[in-house]
Amino acid sequence: MNNYRFLATSVAAVACAFATSALAEKLKIPEGTEVVVRFEEAITSATAKEGDRFTISNGESIDLGAGKSVPAGFVGAGEVTHSKKRKAMGQAGELNVRFDYIKVGDQKIRLRGTKAGEGDARVGTTVVLTVLFGPLGLLKKGKDIEINKGQSIKAYVDGDTEIDWPAPKPPLER
Q: pLDDT tens for residues 70-118?
A: 999 999 999 999 888 875 445 678 888 899 999 999 999 999 886 655 4
Which helix (H) or strand (E) segment holds residue 15: the answer is helix 2-23
> Is the separation of the CB atoms in 58 and 102 below 8 Å?
yes
Domain extent listing, the chain = 25-165
Average pLDDT for the chain: 77
pLDDT tens sequence across 107-126: 999 998 866 554 444 444 33
- CATH code of the domain occupying 25-165: 2.40.128
pTM recorded for the entire structure: 0.70
